[in-house]
Structure 1
């Protein structure tokens, strides 16, 4: 050891500082915690509202999973009635119903032929993709359109 290095006996009288507190002591942190808690509560409330608003979609998707083609047509109509006013949807049939299906779900990627097949499900034999087309419309339609 060198002469500059203190010995163990010389360090015996040192006073250590108190440990750092875990909880912040400044009032600004309480404001930050309050704001973060309010934002989390607001985001949770929005997520809950969205989940509740999409209950008809979940129900329609469950119903489509084991439905016959004519039942799929009725399920699509019920889902549309849950999302739009009755006066806007109830009277649609044929080409008007197919146009409605395409217009309200641009993200579903339904081409004109697929929308026409969905519109005729109650009257004509269903193609192999009818169930997947109906599921895509249910998932991706936008009630704001």
Structure 2
């Protein structure tokens, strides 16, 4: 997991081209971008979504085997819980079509707050639980970058 400021995206130019391309999309996205899916390259797409954060997200943790997620609320803030996969028990079978497995909630190893210029990058080894509120539930509009790996 990486947590960083969108102001630092130049670092990722030499780190990984796909991650950099996703971060560049985030940085250049207009505030009024429509909800939906946006192809960026053969390996990268953006999904723009909106929802109310909650005290309990209702599904626990998720992890992907073939996708890196970059998550960035550009309206509002969101608490994302994190724990390594070896500390969780799956309650669903791996869904190959959606590249996701869901895991029972547990005590997180870490919690990060994203939004207000801060993004999170979650790799296949990172189980993450988005949609949690920071202090109180609030509306967020968010870009999730999906990078094939």
Structure with higher strand content:
2
Structure with higher helix content:
1
Normalised by the shorter chain, which TM-score bucket? under 0.3
- State the TM-score, normalizing by the size of structure 1: 0.21
Query: Which structure is higher in RCO with an 8 Å CA cutoff and minimum separation 6?
Result: 2
- State the TM-score, normalizing by the size of structure 2: 0.21
